[in-house]
Structure formats: structure tokens, C-alpha cells
Amino acid sequence: MIRTLVSASALVAALSLSGAAMAQDAAASSTAAPTTTAPAVDPYLWLEEIEGERAMEWVEGQNDRSLGVLQGDPRYQGLYDQALALVEAQDRIPMPGLVRTSAGEVIDNFWQDAEHVRGIWRTTSVDSYLTDAPQWETILDIDALAEAEGKNWVYKGASCLAPDNRRCLVFLSDGGKDAVVTREFDRDTRQFVETGFNLPESKGGATWVDENTLLISQDFGPDTLTDSGYPLTVRRLMRGQAPSEAVELFRGEKADVASSAYTLRDADGVVQAVLIDRSVGFYDAETHLLEGDETRQLPLPSKVQIEALLDGLLVFTTNEDWTAPNGQQFATGDLIAWNLEGLKTAPDTTPLELILRPGEREAIESVSATRNRLVVAMTENVRGGVYSYSRGDDGAWTRQRLALPENVTVGIGSASDLDDRVFVTAANYLTPSTLYLADAASLDLAEAKSLPEKFDAEGLTIQQFEAASKDGTRIPYFVVHREAMPMDGSSPTLLYGYGGFQSSLLPGYSATVGKLWLERGGVYVVANTRGGGEFGPRWHQAALQENRQRAHEDFQAVAEDVIRRGVTSQPHLGIMGGSQGGLFMGAMLTQRPDLINAAVIQVPLFDMLRFHKLLAGASWIAEYGNPDIPEERAWIEEYSPYQRLSAEADYPEVFIHTSTKDDRVHPGHARKAAARMIEQGHEVLFYENTDGGHAAGANLRETARRLALEYTYLTRRLMDEPAQD
């Protein structure tokens, strides 16, 4: 995709009462857990001081206690060893990036293993990549760089200047934060450019216009940041200038999410337009065309996702019903093409072309372009397919389906701008990922790499069911389990959910879930609740703002359904989710603790009356509402987990973890939740990683530790008999 909201990349990544009668009893008594009135003044505000002395002393004490419990469990070390072996394995698929250089097309890859825990950016030829033993050359070694500079560098990617991609901007984060420093790098000499572009740490971004010009969105002081903490200006920086000398070209409003710039280039790397994205809200944006030093707004939908530029056509999706300037009408979720020159010069008379209108149970997951074709990954009832679209001389679009396996999740990888080759992936919960090199024109498909089996899937099966939510909506979910599983409620079951930001939970192969849970007799359940994107924008929008509780009810309905079916029962049902999914876990904990016996609450949102005042939180008002507006505060207060915590409620012991370096979801959410529960007399395990950012892992060893802690906790709660509080 070309346009991604600054904050949306965040949300990124990338993972029960016995019998029907008892489930019916639980449903009949589904009133929310008792609540206590929150103190007029929050006594734990001091835990929002991210690196405050008192707060860090509290964190250290909780870490010592919780690590003592979990790492002291005799099963921890075995789980850690298995997790470390999985994340450091050499036989993972090195995901390819097709890159055109002056010497021809090559494959780039970022790789981490036991010797390169921070990772290396490396390259090889396409022919070499397709062999069993590619000959890699290192472009940049992040471990060596961190050691040489005495920094805790985490690689956040690179942006190279087309068409030869020699000059690159490398983004480096201190400990995994979203904020990065930006440095110019020469991929031919494998050196940073001594007198090149060098931007200080900031959230935001930078994009190439030409080799001597960048458009930057940076922190130039409080008056240049939005309430969400992202840049509100776009500036032109010329080679040789200090960042402070960059000329301001565009300024948004303080209440916006962010402003940023990007270039639309044709297949040969020639700039066809320079666009500025003014993200007014998380889902609403203005698209401005930059011409010289002047900007003007283009008449695109406010809820737009620009996907590709193909043969002079701007390809985009609209997440709202929309009437074009010429009167053509389009529906939410449509994939549309508009002649770029016509859009710029005569939008009122230039016709638009409908490429695709997904059905009710379909969604567009991703769109990419080769030199001549449009490639679209779709889900159809949460199962994937990839289609190649071509445009006839009459402007009509036709499609052909790639012959990928059925009943899998598919993904589009890197696409060539020299021809119509594109990498695609296919996997499901039990089938390891396979990487194919496809030709979008001929539909030829060749297996390039495959992941070997990482756990014993013999005797395991996948089923898809539906649960009826409180309002009657059918909520699909997947269950991965032993075919011979007894339906007596005795199976330890982990229910995973997210339910927000139009993020889809699709069947994928997880070596860690398989090895650390399924292989040991656990059942894995994934809920496709409203708020996600499994059925397109409307599925997401059904749980926005005042309707957020619908998503919580969907998740609770899935929990009730697996109990009703006898898959599991309350003593053996645990839940897991992170970020927005952490809010999901908090809502389940405070509304239906009677359904669960464990909760892994990862880097969560929890205090929803203050989320908009903490770090990037203001950018999510479009998702949740604004607590400063009384009517909206009332919706939020109904489910905000922090305010609903009660000393009288019967909560299971929970495991909450977060990261000090997370500059997206404030660690104060997790800290305050744990502190208040402890004060109320509940059992809480709390762990805070002092590095790692929102992804909670600056290196592979920390990732392995987090996984081992989680599955040790789940083993104690759900597999041991009985679980001890």
C-alpha cells in the first residue's frame, strides 16, 4: 500500500463451566461484574511517569516478584529453550523484497538469529535466493552498529530512492520506540553518508523527492506537533541544509492526527505526483497535491486508502459510501481506479472505474501492483484468495484467480516493477507458510520457499463455528484442536481476540502457538469479532465509538459458545490479546470474569477515560470517542476496564505485561491496572520489559522470554488441576 496512516502502522504488529447446561447457566446470569466507584483523583497517576524514580522502583519490585514466580516454575526453562530455538531458527523463510538496482534486480531481506539478535539487512541475487542456500551479502549489521556506537538500536526499516535504490534513508529506534533517527545510507558502499541527510529522533517520516530533496514530517517543537504527538507540518529539506532550515510547505491543525508526504512514482521510478496526507482523524484524511511550493486539496474520499499507481491510474479503496465529483456513486469497500491526470486537471468530468465491489462476507486485505497488473488478496468468509486484475482497452477490468491452496490465509509480498512477478504466501493454523513466486500475467506459480513443520500437527484439525452475539449477529471463530478431543469441557483452551482498527485475525501458522500450546494438548480459538476487518469496513464500523461494547459482547459470545459446545469450561478457559486486544481482555475480565480462569493482557489500553491524554492516544478518538465530551464519556465509562475494577469481583489471577519503551500505548495503562487490582486484593503477575517498544521485544532473547512467561502462566492456570489463586 502507498498510504498508511502514521498511527495505523502501530496497530500493528505481527500472535472454559462443564457442558451445555453450565454454559446456559452462565448465559442466564450474564450481568456485568460489580463495579466500584473510581476515586475522584486517580491515586496511581504517578505510574504514568514513564521513567519516574518511584514508578521504576514499583516496576522493579513487580518484575522481581513475578519473574520469581514464573521463572521459578520448573516448566519455564523448557518453554524458554523451545521459544528461543523457534525465534532464532535458521530454517525460517527469509521474506524477500524485490529491489531494482543499477546492476539489476536483487532480493533484500532483514534477518535475525542467534548471532544477529538485532538483525542484518542483507541482499542476494534473485537466482541465488531461489536456491536452497542463497549467498547473502550484508548491507548493514545492526548488532555491529549498536556495539560500535554504544546504542540500543532497533532497525525500523529503510526507504530507498527509485529507480536505482542506491541512496537510502535508514530508520533506527532507541530500544524499539516508534520515534526514530533517520540517516542517509549508500547501499553500494555499505556506508552511512558522512555529510548526508541526518534527522534527529522523532515520530513522523521522510520521503525522497530526488537525490537532493526530502519531504520531512518531524518534531520541530510543541507548536509543530498534534495533540496525538505526531508532526503537523510537512517541510522540504535540501541537501546541505540543517533540519531546522527546512522550508515549511504545509501545516495541519493541532487536533489532527498527523501530516505526512509521499510520492507517487510510475514503474520506472519517475515521480507522477507528490501528495500530502492530512490525517484529520484516524480514518478521515484530506489528500493534497503539492505543486512547487503550493498545495491544493484533491476531491478524493475522506476515508480513502491509496493502494497503487498503475499505468497512469490511481487505484484506491473507499471506506465510506461516496459520490465522485462527476456524480458517480460508490459503496463502502469499493476498489476504484481514477486517471491521475484527469484527477489533477479535470476531476468533474473524468470518469472513474469500479474494479471490485466485495460481497457481504468478503473483504479486500491488500492490494499491490506489478508493472502491468493489479494483484488483490481477498478474504471470503475468512478464507483467502489472490486475484490478478487486468484492464481492457474499453476500461473494463477482468480478474483471474491464482491457483493457491484452498482454505488458507494468503498474503501479497514484494512485486516487481520490471515485469509481472510477485511473491505470495499461503498458510493456515496447521499448514506451514509457503512462499510462491507468481507471474500475475501468465498465472504461473512456483514454490520458492516453505517453512518446515515446527510442531507436531498429527491428529490436529481446524473447525470454523459461529456464535450468536447479544444482538443476534453471527460471529465466526476458529477452533484448532485434537480430532479426538473429549467434548466434556476438560480441554485447556486459549481464546485470542483483537476487535478493532479494521485489523483482521486470519488463519496463520504460528510456530510458537503450535509448539508451546497445541503440541502440549491445548486448544486454540480465534474470534473474528466486529471491530476487525474480516468482512470489510462495515464490519469494523459496526463496533466504533458508541457501539464499542458490541465487540466485547461478540468476544464474550464466543467464550460462551466454546463452553456450550463442551470444548472447554471456565476452569480451563484463558484469554489473550494485546494493545486494543488488551482492552478486549480488560473488558472480559471486568464484565464476565465468570467465564475465564486466566488472562494474558499484553501492552494494553485500560484507562479509557485518559487514553487520549497519553502518548499517541488522541489519534484513536475516531475509534473510541472523546472522553472530554460528556455524551461520549458516558459510552466509554460503561466499559473502561480501569474504572470497572472491583474489590468484590471474583477475578482469576491475571498476567499483565508492557514495555517501558512503548511510545504508542502508554505503559501507565498496564501499571495502573496491576496496581489497582493488587490494592483490591486480587492476584496479579506483572512484568515490564525495559526495552522493546510496542512490539515488546528489542531482540530475540527478550521475545523468547516473553513467550515463555506467557505459556508458563497459561500452563499453571489452565493445565494444572486445580489452578491456584
Q: Are 312 and 369 in contact (CB under 8 A)?
A: no
Side-chain half-sphere of 144: how many Cα atoms within 13 Å? 7
CA angle 471, 473, 474 (to 5 degrees): 140
Q: CA–CA separation, 415 vs 387, rounded Å?
A: 14
C-alpha to C-alpha distance for 451 and 596, rounded to whole angstroms: 34
Helix (H) or strand (E) holding 511: helix 511-516
Q: Is the pLDDT of residue 696 over 80?
A: no
For 515, counting Cβ atoms within 10 Å of its Cβ (0-12 exposed, 13-18 middle, 19+ buried), the class is buried
Residue 563 contacts residue 26 (beta carbons within 8 Å): yes
Over residues 285-307, the mean pLDDT reads 97
pLDDT of residue 630: 96
Number of helices and strands (H, E) in the chain? Answer: 15, 39
Return the C-alpha cell found at 492: 485447556
Question: What is 16-69 written as a DSSP string?
Answer: ---HHHHHHHHHHT-PPPP--PPPSS-TTGGGGSTT-HHHHHHHHHHHHHHHHH
SS3 assignment, position 559: helix
Collapsed DSSP state (helix, strand, coil) of residue 234: strand
- Between CA 552 and CA 543 the distance in angstroms is 9
pLDDT at 608 over 70: yes
Residue 18 clears pLDDT 50, i.e. is over it: no
Locate 14 and state its grid cell. Answer: 505481527
d(CA 240, CA 149): 24
Instruction: Give tens-digit pLDDT for 318-375.
Output: 999 999 999 999 999 999 999 999 999 999 999 999 999 999 999 999 999 999 999 9
Give the 3-state secondary structure of 582-635.
HHHHHHHHHHCHHHCCEEEEECCCCCCCCHHHCHHHHHHHHHHCCCCCHHHHHH
Distance of CA 388 to the CA centre of its chain: 25
648-675 pLDDT, tens digit per residue, is 999 999 999 999 988 889 999 999 999 9
The mean per-residue pLDDT over the stretch 221-237 comes to 95
Confidence check: pLDDT of 21 > 60? no
Q: How many residues does the chain have?
A: 725
Lowest mean pLDDT among 122-136, 301-315, 504-518, 681-695: 681-695
pLDDT score, position 693: 52
**Averaged pLDDT of the chain:** 92
Burial class (CB in 10 A: 0-12, 13-18, 19+), 22: middle
For position 39, what pLDDT does the model report? 61
Instruction: Place 38 in a pLDDT band, splitting at 50, 70 and 90.
Output: low
pLDDT, mean of residues 181-209? 96
Q: Dump pLDDT digits (tens) for 74-107.
A: 999 999 999 999 999 999 999 999 999 998 999 9
- How many C-beta atoms surround the C-beta of residue 414 within 10 A? 15
Cα 588–40–669 angle (5° rounding)?
A: 40
Q: What is the mean pLDDT of residues 115-133?
A: 96
Q: Give the DSSP letter of residue 539.
A: H
Give the count of beta carbons closer than 10 Å to the beta carbon of residue 379.
Answer: 24
Q: Does the pLDDT of residue 521 top 80, yes or no?
A: yes
Q: How confident is the model at residue 41 (pLDDT cuts 50, 70, 90)?
A: confident
C-alpha cell of residue 132: 536452497
Q: Which of 491, 579, 619, 640 is catalytic?
A: 579
Active site residue 694: yes
Q: What is the DSSP letter of 212?
A: T
Q: Are strands 474-482 and 153-160 parallel, antiparallel or unpaired?
A: unpaired
* Percent above pLDDT 70 for the chain: 93
How far apart CA 610 and CA 666 sit, in angstroms, is 10
Grid coordinates belonging to 637: 465509562
